[in-house]
Structure 1
Amino acid sequence: MAYPLPLSCSPRVNQVLDNQLTASTMATNLLAPVKTEQEILENSMLEDDPNANCAATSPPLESLGPRWGPQHKGAQELANLYSTGKRTQECICVGICLTLMAVNLIFILFHIKLQNLSAIMVAAFCGIVTADFGSGFVHWAADTWGSIELPVIGKNFLRPFREHHIDPTSITRHDFIETNGDNFMVTIPFLARMVWDFITLSEDDVQMKFTWNCYVFLLAIFVAMTNQIHKWSHTYFGLPSWVVFLQEMHVILPRRHHRIHHVAPHETYFCITTGWLNWPMEKLHFWTALEVLIEAVSGLKPRDDDLKWAKKGT
């Protein structure tokens, strides 16, 4: 039985990448992208293959030219840019964030009133949806715009996004700190403000802000856990059964759902917390409209830097 060769494994990779660059421009991005099963198979890395992450079995892998994965030259160069200073920042942020979460949880349990449970549940749900939108917006912005050469944010914050597209399974080789450090950092100001409110406000004022604080708390938890959820969506072996159950119930981002984003040139399905908003955002042409507007105003091409790194493997 013959298997279709993934384009990332094909000698025609230069032509494919040039076609992707064309497809990313304003003129051809007016319709929401639709991915078929065949496109997903041929244009994304088969992460459920434990051997070579490639569907091709003949000819030998070494004769197929550049492909996505740990052997990609661009992926190796990007991985080597992870610095000791960045690691230190991530360790500090994870420690502070976990401490603030624990303190806030104690305060919430102490002040919760059962008669307000329905409002609290609605607030919690809204927090999760907001986290999904936030993950999509940040993911879209970092995937689509900017360059590794930008001061501060380039190597520290855009680098992982570039690496992830040419070596999607790299996230499964990152430990808890490297995976979650940046997301935990984002939540610290909001969790710190909550602690301040619980300490300084009167009981009446605490109750007035309690529903809002529950919204912020669930938002912060899901924002903090977004990259861990994202990592699970790329992990095809050895996941705990409860994680697989949550994925199958679409409580968190499912593996098959996220695979759609990894069809080159990665211009769709950006929400990576629950993925609930991906379908409606595409039907509304939300990301496409933003790209058209930004390209018209600035002249910048979406995903230009992303495709530049992809070509380093050629």
Structure 2
Amino acid sequence: MVMLTEDRFEPPSMTEEDPNQNGVGETKDGTARWGPQHAGAKELANQYTAGKRAQETICVVISIALMVGNLYFIVKHFNIDNWYIILPAALLGIVTADFFSGVVHWAADSWGSVELPIIGKALIRPFREHHIDPTSITRHDFIETNGDNFAVLIPVIAKMFYGFYTGSPEEIAKNYNWNCYLFLLAFFISITNQIHKWSHTYFGLPRYITIFQDLNIILPRKHHRVHHVAPHETYFCITTGWLNYPFEKFGFWTKLEELITLATGAKPRDDDLKWAKKTN
């Protein structure tokens, strides 16, 4: 198998250079190949409920409040003499966030189904919708885009805040480097879907965002298009994308899939293909 990169990928990747609609392409029978008019995309989009919206809103508000509180304590207790430990810890937090983004993205893309209890509609549904209407994410607001990521962070950042608020100066100093790592990890996890959204947005991005993309500080648009070459089996890391090339080089995801298929008989992306083939 030829390794795909942003400079060498096989068509057809999803066409995105129209005003963030993906409303192009038809199959031989005249049905939408992808985009908001695709039958599967419409059905999946309609499964986003008012209850889910309320849960996401609450989680975003709580998570942002805790993040702001933790940032206050990190700044308050910052010691410049400790920079040589803080800087690597923060960088490691970013790399770990990229790794976790890949694991979650790969797992939700490749396994399970929308029909699974609880996690099916809550977690897997958006991934299925995204592959048949990739720029649907650009039409989602901040809450719908980021709600799930903010939700999973609450236990970790709440514990961190409690430690800062109740800890003695000695305890805070002892755990400070670890908390810097956790904070950058949490921060980049919280904005992973926002970064993902920007990677699909070809019009109207602020200049500073495109600079970050061009410098590969966050996921670049051209880089992420590799993932959207069917059957969506590579380049799963979507925070910075730094780990995609080495993981692809060593067949990390392929080897994991082979082990799971050998152990369970399940085939990756079966459910994804089912939704892609939906015509009514």
The TM-score bracket by the shorter chain reads over 0.9
CA contact (8 A) 2:36 2:136 kept: yes
1:284 Cα shift? 1.5
1:98 Cα shift? 0.4
Specify the SS of the correspondent of 1:209.
helix
1:204 Cα shift? 1.1
CA contact (8 A) 1:33 1:268 kept: no
CA contact (8 A) 1:32 1:283 kept: no
Specify the SS of the correspondent of 1:271.
coil
Matched, 1:215 2:181: yes
Specify the SS of the correspondent of 1:213.
helix
2:123 aligned partner: 157
For 1:90, give the aligned amino acid.
E
- Structure 1 residues 51 and 95, CA, compared in 2 at 3 Å: closer, same or farther? closer
1:101 Cα shift? 0.6
Matched, 1:34 2:4: yes
Matched, 1:69 2:39: no
2:172 aligned partner: 206
1:66 Cα shift? 2.8
- Structure 2 CA distance, aligned partners of 1:52 and 1:174? 12
1:53 Cα shift? 3.5
For 1:283, give the aligned amino acid.
K
1:230 aligned partner: 196
Specify the SS of the correspondent of 1:123.
helix
- Structure 1 residues 123 and 263, CA, compared in 2 at 3 Å: closer, same or farther? same
Matched, 1:48 2:17: yes
- Structure 1 residues 304 and 33, CA, compared in 2 at 3 Å: closer, same or farther? farther
1:217 Cα shift? 0.2
- Structure 1 residues 37 and 194, CA, compared in 2 at 3 Å: closer, same or farther? closer
For 1:237, give the aligned amino acid.
F
CA contact (8 A) 1:32 1:282 kept: no
2:104 aligned partner: 138
Please give the per-residue CA displacement for 1:45-70, whole angstroms capped at 9, x wherever unaligned: 211123874777xxx99975431101
- Structure 2 CA distance, aligned partners of 1:136 and 1:51? 24
Q: Which runs of 5+ in 2 are unaligned?
A: none
- Structure 1 CA distance, aligned partners of 2:18 and 2:28? 17
For 2:277, give the aligned amino acid.
K
- Structure 1 residues 61 and 151, CA, compared in 2 at 3 Å: closer, same or farther? closer
- What TM-score do you get using the length of structure 1 for normalisation? 0.85
Specify the SS of the correspondent of 1:237.
coil
Please give the per-residue CA displacement for 1:197-226, whole angstroms capped at 9, x wherever unaligned: 112221011111100000000000000000
Specify the SS of the correspondent of 1:312.
coil
- Structure 1 CA distance, aligned partners of 2:82 and 2:151? 30
Root mean square deviation, CA, Å: 2.0
1:36 Cα shift? 7.8
- Structure 1 residues 256 and 294, CA, compared in 2 at 3 Å: closer, same or farther? same
User: For residues 108-147 of structure 1, what are the structure 2 equivalents within 5 Å?
Assistant: 108-147=74-113
- Structure 1 residues 32 and 130, CA, compared in 2 at 3 Å: closer, same or farther? farther
- Structure 1 residues 90 and 304, CA, compared in 2 at 3 Å: closer, same or farther? same
Please give the per-residue CA displacement for 1:140-166, whole angstroms capped at 9, x wherever unaligned: 000000001100110111000000000
1:288 aligned partner: 254
Matched, 1:173 2:142: no
- Structure 1 residues 252 and 38, CA, compared in 2 at 3 Å: closer, same or farther? closer
CA contact (8 A) 2:218 2:239 kept: yes
- Structure 1 CA distance, aligned partners of 2:276 and 2:234? 17
- Structure 1 CA distance, aligned partners of 2:180 and 2:27? 52
- Structure 1 CA distance, aligned partners of 2:142 and 2:206? 16
Matched, 1:104 2:73: no
Amino-acid identity (%): 61
Aligned pairs, number: 280
